[in-house]
Every structure is written in structure tokens, then in C-alpha cells.
């Protein structure tokens, strides 16, 4: 074989190898893996700044449970409580600043347009799926703005945990949808023990 032909063959192999590596990196980055570890902590271990924010958001005294959460390399704090019949979860950054607020809701609380849009997108992932949990998602904003959104039930989007069954494999994903039902973010969630009961 001539040297020019060898060089061209070698060049093609390098191009194929680079394409494979780039594709692998893109696929790996498209769905982050969510493996959260949550640990209950005492009130005294919760950041004081976070407590001040909670006091300004929730005027009445409610029974709160405090947690420290680890997700990969990031740490955060979370307060969970029930208020006016709703389950709240307010998450804070490690420095105590507000990260996000979530309120658990039932599927029938979503408008037909939004749930149809969500179902349409989930149906492209697998034929069988089950929505396990829906939360209104409120992005960090000023306390006054957040209080108004909470009072008006006017979320920025919806965080949804979905279990999928594809052939015999069951897996979970956490989706963040905007208010119209468009996907903003996807994370793979670690599989739980009781998956066989779902479908």
C-alpha cells in the first residue's frame, strides 16, 4: 500500500475515533445522574440565614423538619413542612441563600393543556410510564415576589418524577418542565427496590 493511502486510512480512523469520543461525552452529559443523600439534622445545625428567610415566608409557626442534602459534589439544606394542607420543600444553598421552593400537588391540579404536553413528551421516552410525584417549582427570587407567587399558586414550572418501563427495564427520571409543559432539565434518578410493584 502506498504511503498516501496509509495516511488517508489513518486519518479516517482518527476522525472516527474523535467522533465516537465526542458522541459519548455528549450522551453522558445529556442526562445528569441524581443520587441524593438526605440526612435529618437538628434545628441548631440549619443555617441562620435560611431560618430568617423561612420566618419571612411562613408567618405562622409550623412544625419543620430540617435536612442536609448531598447530590454528587454539591451540598444544600432543606426545610420540609405542611402548611394549609400542602407539603412544602424549601431548599437552600450551602451558604444559606434560597435555592428553590417546591409544593407537592396532585395531577388533576395541572391544566389539561399542560398535562397533555407533558404526557406527549414522556410518551416519546417509553410506551409505559407512571408519574410518581408532581411539585410546583418556584425559582429563587426576591422574598416579596416569591410570597406573591406562592399566594397566587403561580409557579415557574413543575418538577416531576417519572418511572418508565421499556421492555423489562424500569428506570426513573426527574424532569423540570416550564409552565407550558416544555422540558427544561432532565436527571436520571437512582432505581429503588420496589420497582416491580409499579407496572
All three cell numbers of 159, joined, read: 418538577
Burial 68-79 (b: 16+ CB within 10 A, else e): bbeeeeeebbbb
pLDDT confidence tier of residue 127, bands split at 50, 70 and 90: confident
**Domain coordinates of the chain in residue numbers?**
32-197
Whole-structure pTM value: 0.76
Q: How many CA atoms lie within 13 A of 55 on its CB side?
A: 6
Name, in order, each residue with C-beta under 8 angstroms of 109's C-beta and a sequence gap of 6 or more. Answer: 134
All three cell numbers of 33, joined, read: 445522574
Per CATH, the number for 32-197 is 3.10.450.360
Q: How many CB atoms lie within 10 A of CB 3?
A: 7
- Tens of pLDDT, residue by residue over 65-86, are 999 998 777 899 999 999 888 9
Amino acid at each position: 500500500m502506498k504511503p498516501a493511502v496509509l495516511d488517508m486510512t489513518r486519518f479516517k480512523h482518527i476522525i472516527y475515533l474523535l467522533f465516537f469520543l465526542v458522541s459519548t461525552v455528549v450522551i453522558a452529559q445529556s442526562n445528569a445522574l441524581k443520587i441524593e443523600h438526605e440526612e435529618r439534622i437538628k434545628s441548631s445545625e440549619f443555617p441562620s440565614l435560611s431560618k430568617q428567610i423561612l420566618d419571612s415566608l411562613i408567618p405562622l409557626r409550623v412544625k419543620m423538619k430540617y435536612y442536609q442534602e448531598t447530590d454528587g459534589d454539591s451540598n444544600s439544606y432543606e426545610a420540609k413542612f405542611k402548611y394549609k394542607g400542602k407539603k412544602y420543600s424549601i431548599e437552600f444553598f450551602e451558604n444559606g441563600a434560597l435555592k428553590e421552593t417546591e409544593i407537592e400537588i396532585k395531577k388533576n391540579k395541572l391544566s389539561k393543556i399542560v398535562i397533555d404536553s407533558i404526557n406527549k413528551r414522556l410518551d416519546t421516552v417509553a410506551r409505559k410510564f407512571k408519574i410518581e410525584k408532581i411539585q410546583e417549582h418556584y425559582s429563587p427570587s426576591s422574598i416579596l415576589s416569591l410570597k406573591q407567587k406562592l399566594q397566587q399558586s403561580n409557579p415557574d414550572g413543575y418538577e416531576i418524577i417519572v418511572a418508565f418501563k421499556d421492555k423489562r427495564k424500569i428506570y426513573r427520571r426527574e424532569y423540570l418542565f416550564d409552565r407550558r409543559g416544555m422540558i427544561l432539565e432532565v436527571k436520571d434518578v437512582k432505581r429503588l427496590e420496589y420497582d416491580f410493584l409499579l407496572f
